[in-house]
Amino acid sequence: MAATSYDAAVADACWVVFDFETTGLSVAEGARIVEIGALKLEGGRVTDHLVTLVDPEVPIPPAATAIHGLYWTAATIRNRHTRQKTTVVTG
């Protein structure tokens, strides 16, 4: 299939892609964010990145650690960013 001008515009655009790791699968069931990752893509290349841990202020279930391949423990992230303490990142 031939590339269109739209395809080229999308490929050349600046994008930020986010990835969230959580304590569970459902916010309705109390899942909380424990890690946020972001990649900045420009012209199809990664030009910047961010990874930050978030203290969910609840225990992290072993199943969440197994599903996400998390390498840290609740003790590792204690007192990191919380919902009450937020950080704004600008670039």
CA–CA separation, 71 vs 91, rounded Å? 28
What strands, in cross-sheet order, belong to the sheet with 33-42? 14-22, 33-42, 45-53
Query: Is 20 a residue whose pLDDT tops 70?
Result: yes
- Under 8 Å CB-to-CB from 78, ≥6 apart: which residues? 55
Query: Is 8 a residue whose pLDDT tops 50?
Result: yes
Query: Is 78 a residue whose pLDDT tops 50?
Result: yes
Q: Whole-prediction pTM value?
A: 0.70
Give the mean pLDDT of the chain: 79
Instruction: Provide the pLDDT for residue 90.
Output: 46
Per-residue burial over 27-62, b if 16 or more Cβ lie within 10 Å, else e, is: eeeebbbbbbebeeeeeeeeeeeeeebbbbeeebee
CA–CA separation, 38 vs 58, rounded Å? 24
Cβ atoms of residues 78 and 55 within 8 Å:
yes
Instruction: Provide the pLDDT for residue 39.
Output: 95
CA–CA separation, 74 vs 55, rounded Å? 8
